[in-house]
Amino acid sequence: MSTRAATSIAIALLIAMAVASVLILAYGQSPAHVYAVMLGHTWGDVYGLGQVLFKSTPLIFTGLAVALAFQAGLFNIGAEGQLMVGAFFMALVGAHCTGLPAPIAVSLCLIAGALAGALLGALPGWLRARFGSHEVINTIMLNFIAQALVLWAGRRFFFVEQTVHTPPIADSARLPSLGLAGSAASVGFVVALIAVVAVHGLVQRTRLGFELRALGQNAAAAAAGGIAIDRAIVIAMALSGALAGLVGAGTVLGYKGYYEEGIASGSGFMGIAVALLARNRPLWMVPAALLFGTLAHGGLAVNALVPKEIVEVIQAIVILAIAASSSDLQRLAAQGRR
Amino acid sequence: MELVLPALSISGVSKRYGDQLANDDVSLDVASGTVHAVVGENGAGKSTLLQIIYGTVRADTGRMQVLARPVDLTQHHPTAAIACGLGMVHQHFMLVPTLRVVENVVLGREPRQRGRLDLATAARDIAALGERFGLRIDPWRRIEQLTVGEQQRVELVKVLWRGADTLLLDEPTAVLAPTEVDDLFGVLRTLVAAGKCVLLVSHKLDEVNAIADAITVMRHGRVVARMAAGASAAEIASAMVGADVAAQVIAAPTAGRPGTAPRSGVAVLAVRDLVVPRSDGNRGVDHVSFELRPGEVLGVAGVQGNGQSELALALTGLLPVTAGQVRLADVDVTTATPADRRGRGLGHIPEDRLLRGLVLGFDLGENALLGRQHEFTRHGLLARERIAEYAARLIAQSDVRPPDPTLRGSSLSGGNQQKLVVGRELSRPGLRVLICAEPTRGVDVAAAAAIHQRIRAAVDSGVAALIISSDLAELRRLCDRVAVMYRGRFADVLDVAQASDRTLGALMTGVAA
């Protein structure tokens, strides 16, 4: 099973590379050279590696968020909105942490982000449990609402005059840099790794995880087994939102030091691709996020050879190839047809 | 004398799955104008054989002759099977619920007239087929409005409309009520009288005896006996399972348990004026009352769709009730959650193990845990060692085969899945009341005997049980009293000694008031 999944992923990636090679050739460049430059500027030097880790950090969180919901049979497309409110509240709390010792300040910020994301995730969960309205629609809609509300609240009350960012957080709330040749990689990446282990433990080792998986695989059997389905749906969506809400650990606490309009935007949607690639397994989220982080930073490095759009196309092909090989997506499509 | 060729002849069919031989050099001939039954326990390889004949599974070796046309079964395909005049009715119907009968019949072979879909002609064909073979069905009704028996008729019409001469039926009676079985057998007799032939797979001996002209018995993938019509159930059973198990099954008392009078003591389950709304076109429960004392078994008979499923779901907390009261061990649980009821000693063996009993993607250990997860957690963490120990014990005690806790639920045969569910529910500590629906549906003889034994042992230790079953012999074997459900009500509650097939049948069909 596991080897089969790994094989299908490998095939998907090979196909994606082959198609991308054709595109690069069509642009008049050597694919081997482009790939070599890409690899050299990401895994080949310390700064590049740091940037890859930095770009992977939000993807680990959002990948986990999507995967956890998926384990419970729910499709959270709202990670984008959840990470936005999470990062926003993280920054607001962080700005008021002056004078607090670092462990407390950081914890407060992380809790604020997780809580904000959890609330935004729980809402569509509750709508699903209470009224049966589909979480896919509601999470998509809430992305727009979250974005608009954050922008409005920021402009009206919080943003620094003439800017689209909040005041800086207290120094004690900042997560230290990993010191990788001046790259943006911070301890936020470590926080993401801790989240990976925590979600893995939750899913595999706890009763709640067992109940969520039962719900995801057979809701009727879960109900017959005494699992409170409605409650489990809300909890799954809240936890999923909380994970997305932690994205700010890398971007706000670890890098910028404030919330800025558009920070980490796109990570929420990219998280779906990461979760698909990782087959919803928490431990696989790290390599999956690293791959997309590599593509994101490597794309900048080869900008001189091929236009940035080519790299975006490569990313898109990777996503398509993975999606086509994902049994989860096939299952979801089958549900849609029914 | 004219030499009569068999309509369907297969020889040397073998199929290996891993280190299991599902079919081992199987050969059989089906004469035209006959019903041929392949019987055997779950996992004996009957369904595999049928799938090989229809081409959904490729054999490792084997040949087939259909009306003297040779077919290589290692290269077979359903399209070729249909071209040879084979038609398959699967155990789980392949119908689109929202489409009409005629639309389902023509699906994939839509008749056209000047480029437009011509349903009217097809509908006339269906009516004509129905007239000819006693398969009356309104072509314009939607599948979701039909009973299970009617849906099966649609499947039969579908294969006949496609010109099938040989019908392959996989466990055709598994989902039918007794009266529907009679209807089906009437249809099959008409079909063979018209020169068609039928190859069916079953494990219900009395039914096989009632319909088959020839019987092939399979065990562990091999043909172990060939019998003509009229073989006794005991003969077939001993061929199917081996002598000792058969003796046990045949010798099981067919009427009543010792001490069939209601036991004394306080009712552990008291149901008063229970009203449950209808669900999926079935009748709900309409003012049902009864009491169960420790060690007492109440059976519920009835034609499918008369409220039995709703009764079980309401008692286990999976379906809300409109009125009435349910008391479990003297506590009102009318609105309690399923988890709360379980905590108070309620066990549930669901009617459909695939829908509610198991999570197919879970391994056996996880399936053993389902519904008992609170017993095996501390501070929300799964006690993995205790779970592994319990799962291994449960699998051994329930004789689940193969006994490997890391296998997925989907890799077990139906009988073994059911043994796991039954074992899980019956081994719950503090079990007081068992709600049990169709405990042995789709389960082979040996597994059924084992399941009956487990239920009896639980009852002897003081568990009260409500057993809903469409198998009247099963009810007579296990119950003290049998209630007959008709249109959502208990038409009558009989002492098991009075519960003859005829009496129950009359009550089930509403003939006796």
| Identity of the residue in A207, A217, A220 whose CB atom sits nearest the CB atom of B362 | A217
| Residues of chain B positioned with their CB less than 8 A from the CB of A218 | 355, 358-361
Of residues B318, B343, B369, nearest to A223 (C-beta): B318
User: Which of helix, strand or coil describes residue A157?
Assistant: helix
Contact yes or no for A224 and B369 at CB 8 A:
no
Question: Does B350 sit within 8 Å of A217, measured CB to CB?
Answer: no
Residues of chain A in contact with residue B338, where contact means CB-CB under 8 angstroms, are: 223-226
- Give A-chain residues touching B370 at CB under 8 angstroms: 214, 221-222, 225
Task: For B404-442, write each residue's pLDDT tens digit.
Answer: 999 999 888 888 899 999 999 999 999 999 999 999 887
Q: Are A241 and A122 in contact (CB under 8 A)?
A: yes
pTM for the full predicted model? 0.76
DSSP lists the bridge partners of residue B13 as B26
**Is A210 in Cβ contact with B366 (below 8 Å)?**
yes
Q: Tens of pLDDT along chain B (513 residues)?
A: 445 678 899 999 999 876 678 899 999 999 889 999 998 876 688 888 999 999 999 999 999 998 878 999 999 999 899 888 999 998 778 899 889 999 999 988 888 888 888 899 999 999 999 888 888 889 999 998 888 888 889 999 999 998 899 999 988 887 777 778 888 999 999 999 998 999 999 877 777 888 999 999 998 889 998 988 877 777 777 777 665 554 444 444 444 444 444 456 789 999 999 999 876 555 689 999 999 999 999 999 987 678 898 999 999 999 999 999 999 999 999 999 999 999 999 999 998 888 899 999 999 999 999 999 999 999 999 999 999 999 999 999 998 988 899 999 988 888 889 999 999 999 999 999 999 999 988 787 888 899 999 999 999 999 999 999 988 889 999 999 999 998 899 999 999 999 887 788 778 767 665
Residue from A204, A217, A327 to probe the interface with B (highest B Cβ count within 10 Å)? A217
Least confident of A212-221, A329-338, B173-182, B314-323: A329-338
> Position B88: which residue type?
M
Buried residues in B298-335 as b, exposed as e (16+ CB within 10 A): bbbbbbbbbbbbbbbbbbbbbbebeebebbbbeeebbe
Output the furthest CA–CA distance in chain B (Å, rounded). 81
Domain ranges of chain A: 58-294
> Is A210 near chain B, with CB under 8 Å?
yes
Answer for the pair A281, A5: CB distance below 8 angstroms, yes or no: no
Domains belonging to chain B, first-starting first, are 8-85+165-251 (3.40.50.300), 94-163 (no CATH), 269-354+431-508 (3.40.50.300)
To test the contact with chain B by mutation, choose from A1, A70, A203, A218 the residue with the greatest count of B C-beta atoms within 10 A, namely A218
Q: Given the structure tokens 């326990």, which residue do they identify?
A: B41
Average pLDDT taken over every residue of chain A: 92
Distance from CA of A217 to the nearest CA of B (A): 6
* Cα separation, B482 vs B492, whole angstroms: 8
Q: Chain B contacts of A200, Cβ < 8 Å?
A: none
Q: Label residue A331 exposed, middle or buried (CB < 10 Å: 0-12, 13-18, 19+).
A: exposed
First and final C-alpha spacing in chain A: 26
Cα separations in angstroms, B291 against A138, B136, B384, B470: 47, 42, 39, 21
Query: ipTM of the predicted structure?
Result: 0.86
Q: Tell me which DSSP letter residue A256 carries.
A: I
- Say whether residue A213 is in contact with chain B using an 8 A CB cutoff: yes
Name residues whose C-beta falls within 8 Å of residue A316's C-beta, 6 or more positions apart in sequence. Answer: none
All residues at 6 or more sequence positions from A37 whose CB lies less than 8 Å from its CB, including other chains: A301, A302, A305
